[in-house]
Amino acid sequence: MPRHKFLAIDQGTTSSRAIIFSDRGEILATSQKELRLYYPHNGWVEQDAQDIWNDTYVCIQDVLKKHSDITAVGITNQRETTIIWDRETGKPVYNAIVWQDRRTSSICADLKEKGHEPTIREKTGLLLDPYFSALKIAWILDNVSGVRVAAEQGRLAFGTVDSWLVWKLTGGKNHVTDATNASRTLLFNIKTNDWDEDLLRLFDIPRSILPKVLDNVGDFGTTSPALFEKSYPIKGVAGDQQAALIGQACFAKGMVKSTYGTGCFALMNIGTEFKASHNKLLTSIGYRITGQTTYVLEGSIFIAGAAIQFLRDNLGFFSSASESESLAKSVSNTNGVYFIPALTGLGAPYWNPDVRGAIMGLTRDTTRAHITRAALEAQAYQTKDLITAFEADTGVKPEVIRVDGGLVANHFMVQFLSDILETPVDIPVCHETTALGAAYLAAIGSGVFSSLDDISKNWKKEQGFKPMMTQDESNVLYQGWKNHMGSLIKA
């Protein structure tokens, strides 16, 4: 019997989940609800903030029925997604604007034109892109009737999803966020660790709507007695990718985790010194514990597993994603086919919103097996683009990459990744690294774990993959990707 149990709330883009972990990192109970996305206009992506809360609440109630003896709660969430609500009524003034939303791209282009990007990069480690929260906040203030006036009167609160959930869980008592979520807003100076007055002025956002920023481990409040039979302390919060970094125990400088879900997000721990990327990566706060900030370089790719969904749902190549593995293995190579999954433009390290996806190198004998294999191989090439940028920025070649996310169930993909990166790739025993990271933060916050070392001791490898290809083969294949990518970007 575990001595302590922790509740991890994992509020993601496609679903809300609650998972109860033991203090050894085992899953004891889990509950999940799919979350609806709305696309009101081309490039707009929204969710109902009330649904986000209601679904999360239902999932928590569900798992507490099985284990109500929880020591503490940890929260992890889809980052950048923006919610503004009325402090009095608790009602959102507009839908949640999701991280994928592109409605502010012309405002970004305009601000770039005016030369604001270098300063923003120095202060926040980010780029001027609709991806980040500040542009979404400004849009709501400027486009929803009465909102700017209410904000200026101090009646409104802004939060990323963590902040909204803490506010709801504490019965409207606490308006807080954590340093990792704050570091994705484009308003937080990650060197001074404070909201930045210049950026607030630039985006015309009143400081009064912002939450208080806490370390990843801390006192986020206690759940309201009105919600559950008992009250539970909320002791840890981190954005999803940072929580995965923690769940994967990447605490030494140079360690890398790469998550393959809908998109792919690779994070490299770069230690306690801020470093702006010169290779179009982002710098963010990896974690902040007892006031000490550790930074990461991040490469964000918008389409990873979504490419497999595309082949399944749009092209009808197979009926379940897992069939892609046997199909890919039914041929010995792609026969020269490359799949560039730029279905929503290109993220790191290209940052080109206008490029669209392509399948290149088609011949008379190309089959769906070749194209499927090419879509899986593309995951490795995309990752190589990021790892090359990490190396160029830091001079460090990671010794091993720790991977997670739904797509790593596909061992063909993971082996090919190891081949193309020419680096060992490890899959951990616990596949739910994001939720696990949140549970671990709660374990530290409640004093059950004394430090990050306790997390490292708990990390266990399920399976390791080593490069099997010759360096020449690997180089030739990757060069083909670079050539096709180059011609697509120019076209």
Site membership for ligand ADP, residue 383 (CB under 6 A): no
Given 185, 410, 433, 458, the residue binding ligand ADP (CB under 6 A)? 410
**338 Cβ contact partners less than 8 Å away, ≥ 6 residues apart:** 359, 360, 361, 374, 377, 378, 381, 480, 481, 484
Give the integer Cα–Cα distance in Å for 385 and 349. 7
Nearer to ligand ADP, 125 or 239 (CB): 239
Site membership for ligand ADP, residue 262 (CB under 6 A): yes
Site membership for ligand ADP, residue 261 (CB under 6 A): yes
Considering only residues 3 through 42, tell me which ones interact with ligand ADP, judged by CB under 6 A.
12, 14
Nearest distance from residue 186's CB to ligand ADP, in Å?
Answer: 23
Phi, psi (deg, nearest 5) at residue 147: -70, -40
Q: Is the peptide bond before 233 cis (omega within 30 degrees of 0)?
A: no
Nearest distance from residue 407's CB to ligand ADP, in Å?
Answer: 4
Site residue total, ligand ADP (CB under 6 A): 17
| DSSP H or E segment with residue 457 | helix 452-458
Considering only residues 195 through 224, tell me which ones interact with ligand ADP, judged by CB under 6 A.
none
Nearer to ligand ADP, 342 or 444 (CB): 342
Per-residue b or e along 227-250, where b marks 16 or more CB atoms closer than 10 Å to that residue's CB = bbeeebbbbbbbbbbbbbbbbbbb
Nearest distance from residue 306's CB to ligand ADP, in Å?
Answer: 5
Angle at 256 between CA 255 and CA 257, to 5 degrees: 135
Given 355, 409, 427, 469, the residue binding ligand ADP (CB under 6 A)? 409
Site membership for ligand ADP, residue 325 (CB under 6 A): yes
Given 361, 406, 424, 467, the residue binding ligand ADP (CB under 6 A)? 406
Phi, psi (deg, nearest 5) at residue 154: 80, 15
Nearest distance from residue 438's CB to ligand ADP, in Å?
Answer: 14
DSSP letter at 364 equals: T
Site membership for ligand ADP, residue 407 (CB under 6 A): yes
Maximum Cα–Cα distance across the chain:
67
Q: Provide the pairing of β-strand 256-260 with 401-404.
A: parallel
Given 30, 183, 277, 324, the residue binding ligand ADP (CB under 6 A)? 324
Strands (E), 248-396: 256-260, 264-271, 282-289, 292-301, 338-340, 358-360
Binding segment for ligand ADP among 158-166, 216-224, 316-324, 479-487 (CB under 6 A)?
316-324
Site membership for ligand ADP, residue 308 (CB under 6 A): yes
Q: Which of 95, 106, 98 is nearest to 133 (CA)?
A: 98
Given 74, 247, 305, 445, the residue binding ligand ADP (CB under 6 A)? 305
Positions touching ligand ADP (CB under 6 A) are 12, 14, 261-262, 305-306, 308-309, 321-322, 324-325, 405-407, 409-410
